Amino acid sequence: MDKNSAALYKKMQAEVESYQNLQKSCVKMVKQRALLESQLNENKCVLDELNLLGPDNKVYKLFGPVLVKQELEDSRQNVGKRIEYISKELKSSTDTLENMEKDMLKHREAVAKYQQQWQVAAAMK
């Protein structure tokens, strides 16, 4: 293998490695996004249940092994804030995932380009 082919091969290997690292990060991000979606759905269900309660109903919050009485409106506000926070995190993870996918496409194209150049160089021998 001549120097030019070896250099192309090293560049291609570096792109492949970058692509594989992005794939691993992407898988982690998808898992995190799925977790956030499930938390969001769970909190929406809790808020729906809290909205069904009347002013005379009592709400308790679990603190460790103890149930502590909490005001209904406080509970609604806390769950609402949690939903808002999770929604922001979900949007952020979606944006990050889209950027990762764009980067993966760039690396894939670079790998294909280097592979083609390497094959042409090898065929010219």
Q: 5 CB contacts (<8 Å, ≥6 apart)? A: 118, 121, 122
Give the closest residue to 118 by CA, choosing from 16, 15, 4, 31: 4
Task: Give this prediction's pTM.
Answer: 0.79
The CATH number of whichever domain residue 26 belongs to comes to 1.10.287.370
Number of domains in the chain: 1
SS3 content of the chain, % helix, strand, coil (to 5): 80, 10, 10
Task: Tell me the percentage of the chain whose pLDDT exceeds 70.
Answer: 98
Q: What domain range includes position 55?
A: 3-124
Residue 23: the pLDDT is 93
Q: How far is it, in rounded angstroms, from Cα 97 to Cα 42? A: 23
Q: Any idea which of 27-31, 45-49, 107-111, 114-118 has the lowest mean pLDDT?
A: 114-118
Neighbours of 93 (CB within 10 A): 18
Report whether pLDDT(100) > 80.
yes
The residue-averaged pLDDT of 32-49 equals 96
